Amino acid sequence: MKHEWRKHEKELYVPKDKPQLLTIPKQKFFAIKGKGNPNDVDFSDRIGVLYSLAYAVRMMSKNGFTPDGYFEYTVYPLEGIWDLTEEGKKSDILNKDELLYTIMIRQPDFITNEVVEKAFEIANKKKPHPLLKEAYFDEMEDSLSVQIMHNGSYDNEPVSFQKMIDYINENGYIRRCMFHREIYLSDARKTKKDKLKTVLRYMIKTNEHNI
């Protein structure tokens, strides 16, 4: 049976529009770093590179190479970890040109270094791009986190972030880092702003002063 993350991993990808506490296991990703406005062409190009790698893995079994443990699955959604440059942090107004980001696409557990090398080989042949040299494979573990489903425009995300911050403060937690993770369940190119769905997540830990 085909593994569909929306159905089989609802806790991770389909939260409610109120803060939810959960533990995120170690996950595997193709990722690429960048700086600047996500509305710029450079950002779109980086997304394209990630998808070329993700689909190289997804389609391997149909192209003469079947990884050990391979199973049919739906490609995971795009994710992003967002921060600001030191200059950007000095301003009370968000300057998108000062954004720092790592965007990524999760990979199934069967992926190995051999599969990663094969994916880059396929992508370089089928869809060569200079940015492929900046993409990389990594494993990340968010562990204890709080997340929420944000419905609507990205520009209105502060409302949902505030809900999470209130939850964190009220329940004796603190954030482990100042950056945050976003998981994009909607294609912003095809979806109206008020219909966008985005998972927002903070990594947290227990506030020892409140114990």
Q: What are the structural domains of the chain? A: 10-25+142-206 (3.20.80.10), 26-140 (3.20.80.10)
When pLDDT is averaged across residues 77-82 and rounded to a whole number, the result is 96
Per-residue model confidence (pLDDT) at position 187:
85
Q: Is the dihedral of CA 52, 55, 61, 67 positive or negative?
A: positive
Predicted confidence (pLDDT) at residue 210 exceeds the cutoff of 90 = no
Helices 41-58, 113-126: crossing angle, 10 deg rounding: 120
When pLDDT is averaged across residues 155-172 and rounded to a whole number, the result is 95
Per-residue model confidence (pLDDT) at position 181:
96
- Going by pLDDT thresholds of 50, 70 and 90, the confidence category of residue 91 is confident
φ, ψ for residue 62 (rounded to 5)?
Answer: -95, 0
Predicted confidence (pLDDT) at residue 211 exceeds the cutoff of 80 = no
What is the model's pTM?
0.94
- Going by pLDDT thresholds of 50, 70 and 90, the confidence category of residue 173 is very high
CB distance 169 to 113 below 8 Å = no
Q: Cα(5)–Cα(78) distance, rounded to whole angstroms?
A: 13
Where is average pLDDT lowest: 18-22, 46-50, 80-84, 90-94? Answer: 90-94
Where is average pLDDT lowest: 78-82, 83-87, 122-126, 200-204? Answer: 83-87
What is the pLDDT of the chain when averaged over all its residues? 93
